[in-house]
Amino acid sequence: MLQQLFTPTVQHVLDLIGIFVFAISGALLAVRKNFDVFGIAVLAEVTALGGGLLRDLVIGAVPPAAFTDLGYFLTPLLAAALVFFLHPEVERIQTGVNVFDAAGLGLFCVAGTTKAYEYGLSLTSSAVLGLATAVGGGVLRDVLANDVPSLVRWDRDLYAVPAIVGSTMVVLCIHYDALNPLTTALAALSAFVLRLLAMRYHWRAPRAWNRRSTVAEEQTP
Amino acid sequence: MLQQLFTPTVQHVLDLIGIFVFAISGALLAVRKNFDVFGIAVLAEVTALGGGLLRDLVIGAVPPAAFTDLGYFLTPLLAAALVFFLHPEVERIQTGVNVFDAAGLGLFCVAGTTKAYEYGLSLTSSAVLGLATAVGGGVLRDVLANDVPSLVRWDRDLYAVPAIVGSTMVVLCIHYDALNPLTTALAALSAFVLRLLAMRYHWRAPRAWNRRSTVAEEQTP
Amino acid sequence: MLQQLFTPTVQHVLDLIGIFVFAISGALLAVRKNFDVFGIAVLAEVTALGGGLLRDLVIGAVPPAAFTDLGYFLTPLLAAALVFFLHPEVERIQTGVNVFDAAGLGLFCVAGTTKAYEYGLSLTSSAVLGLATAVGGGVLRDVLANDVPSLVRWDRDLYAVPAIVGSTMVVLCIHYDALNPLTTALAALSAFVLRLLAMRYHWRAPRAWNRRSTVAEEQTP
């Protein structure tokens, strides 16, 4: 068991912030997809809580935090209501989705890695589950919106790498016994900034080598 | 623990009816989607058992009822066989999907809420999980059929509200110690009738305020 | 509890082979879909580990093997790297996806059924969960790639039947106390060969009887 990183209140507030920003990203995608108010609420909840729910099921933390902490459930509804009434012009939505999503990515890869380690997973598995916590909600969001998940598309800026960096920083800190509020915040911030830079400069991951006649192939799925 | 609402046999029969009608809805969608006989069986099983499976994983009731009660597994196969051999003309299918789905919605939001509360969740969480039980199978059905889930589409009649009403009635009855077979049946019936009315009069949920240039936005996903 | 079928090392190697071939199939689909290197890794991991993860959550074996055995996590990455650097010409990919997938299908339906039975499920439930283990990863792969799962498409060669045969052979062997390395291998091989034959001769499952005006129906989803 790790010693408590932050006071419970600080930890809880950070969790709620991560949930809130992911929920905003889900709700904004729902608006762009032309969903109704329930679709907005559902995508907000799923994006915000999906990754953590997956993590809690995997580590056996049932019932998951999403169902035991009323704040976890209500925060996405608040985000959905804000987006419903106050969302910016549709033209500017995509940027908003991405920036909020980047903030959630940073917070969740750190929180997911830490919780997985507390439940006894190895350092590598904890980092992987932290990554899954961070990207899981977004993947579920895209699946429900019937999109190919941004996570796997080559024409999307780097998304997994920032979360991998954040998760890896956390497990390195654990390994070297250097996990404290400062290093934790640094890991989350690194993931957030890396993701913003990836979006700003359109960093992309390579596709498979030796590809050819892709277009023809795509036409005959 | 709630006192047993119904005799075990009655409870079990109600569960099987809910499973059966949801399975019919899944199998009919599979026919409309032109799936083969295994696709029909898979969609019947997933639609019927998916919501309850999700609920059981969340509350830690493993192995889930879907895998311990042979009747739960065989009932969707029966529904799939009926649809396979006897389904009505394709033109009339959509109505059938919707009416059966409404009946399942009513039964499952009540059963899901009750079981979640029995496993120690709070009243609010129980209602949310009851809602998830009721709509989860349909969402999985639509995801497997590669559709945007009906649940989130603005051009679909109200679906979540009837389930929310049913779940809320159950937790209010629990709170005021008034849960009995009659009030339980009333909650399920309310959800069912509300859903039928929503379909009959095309009640729809609003989309986000201040939307504009939606069509142009939709063209550039 | 079954007596140990194979020495732990043999069992582990078979598991890793099944994981490897499924991962190859996922990675090749990712290449065909034009995903980037992370998309290739994600689809390799999900295809290889998704079915087993689902099985472990259902039987309550948490944390699932996918998160406790480092080899299970690293093997799909190796497969993804191989596909990334060395994949054959794109024109030949589809055959590769299918043959590797068939091998994984055979190994996983057997391993899934055996493990489910060891965790106390009934013979029927074990066979069903073995089938779900075998096809689950492929369904998740197709959902993430935004395809209708091959499993349910009528224009795909038989996929579920070989896995059902393999799972059924295992539970029959258990029932008649005849489960040993030879019969286990035979069950896996039967599923593999059946799947190859289904692909070679384009065996397909029937669609619903009395269908009509399907084409018109398909146009108005």
Q: How far is C191 from chain B (nearest CA, A)?
A: 16
A60 and C64 within 8 Å at the Cβ level: the answer is: no
What is the Cβ-side half-sphere exposure of residue A179, based on CA atoms within 13 angstroms?
Answer: 24
pTM of the model: 0.88
Taking residues C182-192, report their average pLDDT: 93
Percent of chain C with pLDDT over 90: 49
Phi-psi region of A169 (alpha: psi -120 to 50; beta: other; left: phi over 0): alpha
Closest-CA residue to C133 (of C48, C23, C191, C26): C48
Residues of A in contact with B121 (CB under 8 A): 63, 67-68
Residues of B in contact with C213 (CB under 8 A): 90-91
Strand partners, A207: C36
Per residue of chain B (221 residues), give pLDDT as tens: 455 566 677 778 878 888 988 998 899 889 888 898 989 999 999 999 999 999 999 999 989 988 988 999 999 999 998 888 877 654 466 676 678 788 889 999 999 999 999 999 999 999 999 999 999 999 999 999 998 988 888 777 888 899 999 999 999 999 999 988 899 999 999 999 999 999 888 888 777 765 544 444 443 33
Q: How far is C157 from chain B (nearest CA, A)?
A: 10
Q: How much is the ipTM here?
A: 0.84
| C17-31 per-position pLDDT tens digit | 889 889 988 998 898
Q: In B, what residues contact A, Cβ < 8 A?
A: 57-60, 119-122, 124-125, 128-129, 139, 143, 146-149, 151-154, 159-161, 204-214, 217-218, 221
- CA–CA separation, A118 and B207 (whole Å): 42
Give the pLDDT confidence score for residue B220 in this predicted structure.
38
Residues of A in contact with B138 (CB under 8 A): none
Q: In B, what residues contact C, Cβ < 8 A?
A: 30-40, 42-43, 53, 57, 62-64, 67-68, 70, 73, 83-85, 87, 89-91, 143-147
Say how many C-beta atoms besides its own lie within 10 A of residue B24's C-beta: 27
| A160-186 per-position pLDDT tens digit | 899 999 999 999 999 999 988 899 999
Q: What are the angstrom distances between the C-alpha of C109 and each of B91, C23, C72, C191, C197?
A: 38, 16, 17, 8, 17
Size of interface A-C (CB pairs under 8 A): 102
Q: Which residue has the tokens 């999700």?
A: B54
- CA–CA separation, A64 and A67 (whole Å): 6
Percent of chain A with pLDDT over 70: 86
What size, in residues, is chain C?
221
Of A18 and C96, more confident: A18
- Say whether C203 sits in a helix, a strand or coil: coil
Statement: residue C90 has pLDDT above 60: no
| Alpha helices, DSSP H, located in B60-159 | 65-68, 70-86, 93-118, 123-144
pLDDT-wise least confident of B130-144, B161-175, C94-108, C180-194: C94-108
* CB nearest A34 (choices: B58, B160, B207): B207
Handedness of CA B137, B9, B188, B121 (dihedral sign): negative
Q: What is the separation of C-alpha C2 from the centre of its chain, rounded to a whole number of angstroms?
A: 23
- Say whether B64 sits in a helix, a strand or coil: coil
Q: What is the mean pLDDT of chain A?
A: 85
pLDDT profile of chain A (221 residues), mean per 10: 62 84 89 88 94 93 89 93 74 68 90 92 94 93 90 81 94 93 93 92 77 44 37
